[in-house]
Amino acid sequence: MSDSARGLRMMGMTLQTPPPELAHLGLRAMRMVGSTAGTLRPGARRLMTAAQALVLRTDVNLDTLTPIAPAELAQAFPAPLARQLVSAMVVASLVDGPPQKETSRLVAEFAQALGVDEPALATVDLFARGHLLLGTLDFHRRSNIRGMVQTELERRGLWGAVKSVLGIRGLVEDPEVARPFLALG
């Protein structure tokens, strides 16, 4: 199987590499999510740049991307890739901090048009409405922390699991985990 057909295996899931024309359409939508405040936010720009390098294998100038209507995107975007795109939009909406209400609404519109039922949209909405504590609790409830802790307990024992949780909180850095991310620059 070719590398593009397999996609990129990351954190227990496979990210599919769409054909260039679909990647371009997805980037147009992502740019809209990342720039509801007017200009493309720095974290969203870095996320989209990394996605192009690691998953999409494209090199599109993000500043030249034009908006796309949710219905137009849905007409061309196949279901298997739609969930991946909506997940990326959720990340893009949160990468620079709590999103604006407009950002939450836009991601929900894209998800609805694409026919994707994404539970994380409720978390994005909580953050957008200023409910930071409820949003954080909802995020942790929906996250894979339990599975991660279980895996770390099995692989590295109790101390490894504790270090992983402390790493998530930014209190401890594991050089083995940090190495590949630092190599990406």
The DSSP code sequence of the chain is --HHHH-EEETTEEEP---HHHHHHHHHHHHHHHTTTSS--HHHHHHHHHHIIIII-----GGGPPP--HHHHHHHS-HHHHHHHHHHHHHHHHTTSSPPHHHHHHHHHHHHHHT---THHHHHHHHHTT-HHHHHHHHHHHSSHHHHHHHHHHHHHHHHHHHHHHHHTTS---HHHHHHHHHH-
> Tens digit of pLDDT for each residue in 46-94?
999 999 998 899 999 999 999 999 999 999 999 879 999 999 999 999 8
Residue-wise burial string across 95-125, b where 16 or more C-beta atoms lie within 10 A, e elsewhere: bbebbeeebbebbbebbebbebebebbebbb
Beta carbons of 36 and 102 less than 8 angstroms apart: yes
Which domains does the chain carry? 3-131 (1.10.3680.10), 145-184 (no CATH)
> Tens digit of pLDDT for each residue in 121-139?
888 888 888 887 776 776 7
Asked whether the predicted pLDDT for residue 169 surpasses 80, the reply is: no
Average pLDDT, the chain: 84
| Per-residue pLDDT band at 6 (split at 50, 70, 90) | very low
Environment class of 134 (CB within 10 Å of its CB; exposed 0-12, middle 13-18, buried 19+): middle
Asked whether the predicted pLDDT for residue 40 surpasses 90, the reply is: yes
Quote the pLDDT of residue 65: 96
Asked whether the predicted pLDDT for residue 164 surpasses 60, the reply is: yes
